[in-house]
Each structure stands twice: as C-alpha cells, then as structure tokens.
Copies of this chain bind each other. A is one copy, B any other.
Amino acid sequence: NNYFKIAVLPGDGIGPEIISESIKILDVIAEAFQYKFQFDYGLIGAEAIFKTGNPLPDETLKICKESDAVLFGAIGDPAFDNNPEAKVRPEQGLLKLRKELGLFANIRPLKTYASLIEKSPLKREIVEGADIQIFRELVSGIYFGEKFTDPEGAYAYDICKYSREDILPIAHMAFQEAQKRNKKLTLIDKANVLDTSRLWRKICQEIASEYPDVQLDYMFVDNAAMQLIINPKQFDVILTENMFGDIISDEASVIGGSIGLLPSASVGESNALFEPIHGSYPQAKGKGIANPIASILSVAMMLDHLNLHAAANKLRQSVEHAIENKYVTIDLNSKQYYSTSEVGSFIADHI
C-alpha cells in the first residue's frame, strides 16, 4: 500500500506555519518514494471557535477518524488563557480529539544533538548522550475526570480517576519499548499521596513478571522533576500518568537545548496523531521565526507508524544534516539564522 490519507490540522498560532513546512516535506517524500498522500484539512482550536463556534467541528473529527494518520500543528490562544470564564476553549478541541480517537499513549523521544549541546541550559557532561523515551497516558486522569465550578464561584473541583483498563495498555507498551532499548523502566507517580498513583504502582508490579528482563523502578514526581535535571542519563523509558507526563515532558525538553526540536506521537488502537510538543507560541505567529523541526520530526514518526521506515530514516538524516550545518531558525542560532520556510526547504531539498 502506498496511498495514505493524512488529516491535517494546522490549528492556532504558529501551527499553520510549521505544518506547511511538513506538507512541503511530505510532497518531496511522495515524489522520491512514489507514495501518494491525500491531505484532508480540518479546523481545530481557537481557529475553529472563531469560524464555527466549536473547537472540534464534526467534520474535523470525521476526517481524522477516516485518516491513516493525523498531522497536528498547535493549539491555544491568549484571548482564552486570560479569560478564566470562557465556556468554550481551544484546548477542548484537542482533548476531545485525543479522547474520540482513543489516543491513549503519548510518546516523546528525547535525545541530544552533538552540534546543539551548547544550547542546553544544562552542562555538557550532564546531558551528553541522554536518550529518554517518555510514555504519557493521554486520555484519562485529571484531564478527563468530572470537573465542576460552583456557579457562585465559591469552589471548584477536578477529579483524577484511573481504572485498570486505562493503565494496562500503556504500561505494556512502555515495558515492550524498554525491552527494545536499555531494559530500564521508571514509573513516575506520587504513590505516597495519591490513590490513583498506588493503582499505577500495583498494576506495574503485577505485569512486571511478564518482562523479567526489564528493571522496573519507581520515582516520586517531585524527586523525578529534580533527577531529570541533575542526572537525566539515569533514565531510559519513563511511564507516567497524564498530568505528570505533561509537566515532566515539557521539563525534559530542556535536555536537548530546544523545545523546537521535539516531536511526539499519540497512538491508540486504530488511530494515531503526530504533533510537536511545543505549543502555539502566539507571540511568534506570522513572523517566520518558528522552528519547523519539531513538526518535521513528527512527520518522521508518522512515516515510521505507516511503516515507511526508509523515508522516515531519510528524513531524519536530512534534519540532522540541517542541524549539523547550522541551517536553523533563530532559537538555535541567534547569530546566523534562517526563516521557518528556508529551514523547511533546506530539509526538503536534502531528502
């Protein structure tokens, strides 16, 4: 099969700019490898609210469900962030999409690039060689539990809930990945305080016997937030719940020197979505300064997911070639830099 339906959701802020570089790349790959990609565009987030009143229009959901993969840009708009009383919010679009597509595992690979190590706020000896894969649970926990705000504004609550079925699939996935890597899995939780964390620990303990070659460790999230900076090389595969994963994986982005480099895959039983881990970065919108690499590397993860490994590898090589030759955006080199589309074209040209 070399015909693929890709749902394309540019979203808010710099989303459209980085996505158009990813499409540029996919066009070149289609040509070079004789694939055919059908791009179906959909509205989501603040853009969708402004145009339809709905952060996830039915049409968008339909396109995504029928796709072989979803390519996602970014979401979020300061008009909503600064208004705690807005009833409809851009992020609801992404959260609903994750839930509807059953994307239970968000996978974030973290590594360092030799030529960029100086960009990290951390010292070279701390980060050099760090290579971590984070598995964040994505469709349960406090994100999706019942929420309530008292109409008088006297109180509010959010419920964090996890069932055995929510935890098992991603736990198995993380163990399996650890088997393929350095055989070390760290569960990050707050089991000294939370019932849900104790359930995570219990289930991981139970299934650990199916993976006797993997060493399973536990770490409290507060300690983990410190250990990730002091000694990131101690980690191989990290498994964690939704909210802790959100915090820990953005934090861990400092290891490689720029959040603008980091891709992610969100996968479920029958759908998959690929997005950079950075946000919509509204201050940069329209300026041509956004780093397209996180989105382009998300395309590489998508190609792997579609079993187009040769193309994925070729694309990663081309990205590394751009980074090594310092053909990068301003976040990676403030002395000599290129625009979003120059970087995208450079990478496309070297495939």
- Interface residues on chain A, number (Cβ under 8 Å): 66
Q: In the complex, which residues of chain B have a beta carbon less than 8 angstroms from the beta carbon of A89?
A: 192
- Indicate whether A193 sits within 8 Å of B148 (C-beta atoms), given known contacts A84-B198, A229-B251: no
Instruction: Provide the bound-state CA to CA distance between A155 and B121, in Å.
Output: 40
Q: In the complex, which residues of chain B have a beta carbon less than 8 angstroms from the beta carbon of A223?
A: 250, 279
Listed stretches A27-35, A161-169, A306-314; interface member: A161-169
**Minimum Cβ distance to chain B for residue A197 (Å):** 8
- Indicate whether A163 sits within 8 Å of B155 (C-beta atoms), given known contacts A195-B148, A229-B122, A247-B247: yes
Contact B158 A194 (CB under 8 A): yes
Q: In the complex, which residues of chain B have a beta carbon less than 8 angstroms from the beta carbon of A221?
A: 246-247
Q: In the complex, which residues of chain B have a beta carbon less than 8 angstroms from the beta carbon of A225?
A: 225, 247-248, 250-251
Contact B226 A229 (CB under 8 A): no
**A160: which of B122, B142, B259 is its contact (CB, 8 Å)?**
B142
Which residues between 209 and 232 of chain A lie within 8 Å of chain B, taking CB atoms? 218, 221-223, 225-226, 228-231
Q: In the complex, which residues of chain B have a beta carbon less than 8 angstroms from the beta carbon of A205?
A: 84
Residue A254 at the B interface, CB < 8 A? yes
Instruction: Provide the bound-state CA to CA distance between A254 and B163, in Å.
Output: 35
Q: In the complex, which residues of chain B have a beta carbon less than 8 angstroms from the beta carbon of A154?
A: 163-164
Residue A143 at the B interface, CB < 8 A? yes
Q: In the complex, which residues of chain B have a beta carbon less than 8 angstroms from the beta carbon of A196?
A: 156-158
**Minimum Cβ distance to chain B for residue A94 (Å):** 10
Q: In the complex, which residues of chain B have a beta carbon less than 8 angstroms from the beta carbon of A81?
A: 191-192, 218
Contact A149 B251 (CB under 8 A): no
Instruction: Provide the bound-state CA to CA distance between A85 and B121, in Å.
Output: 40
Residue A190 at the B interface, CB < 8 A? yes
Q: In the complex, which residues of chain B have a beta carbon less than 8 angstroms from the beta carbon of A82?
A: 218
Residue A126 at the B interface, CB < 8 A? yes
Contact A149 B199 (CB under 8 A): yes
Q: In the complex, which residues of chain B have a beta carbon less than 8 angstroms from the beta carbon of A226?
A: 250-251, 253-254, 259
Residue A326 at the B interface, CB < 8 A? no
Residue A88 at the B interface, CB < 8 A? no
Which residues between 125 and 157 of chain A lie within 8 Å of chain B, taking CB atoms? 126, 142-143, 145, 147-149, 153-157
Residue A49 at the B interface, CB < 8 A? no
Q: In the complex, which residues of chain B have a beta carbon less than 8 angstroms from the beta carbon of A253?
A: 226
Residue A13 at the B interface, CB < 8 A? no
The 6 tightest CB contacts between A and B, nearest first, are A225-B251, A155-B163, A222-B250, A84-B198, A157-B161, A156-B195
A-B contact pairs, 17 of them (CB 8 A): A84-B199, A84-B205, A85-B198, A122-B229, A149-B199, A153-B164, A153-B199, A155-B164, A159-B159, A159-B160, A190-B243, A222-B251, A225-B247, A225-B250, A228-B251, A229-B251, A230-B254
Interface set of A (CB-CB < 8 Å, partner B) = 76, 80-82, 84-85, 89-91, 95, 121-123, 126, 142-143, 145, 147-149, 153-164, 190-196, 198-199, 201-202, 205, 218, 221-223, 225-226, 228-231, 243-244, 246-251, 253-254, 259, 279
Supplied contacts A85-B198, A121-B123, A157-B196, 6 more A-B pairs, CB within 8 Å = A80-B192, A81-B218, A90-B192, A121-B126, A145-B157, A222-B250
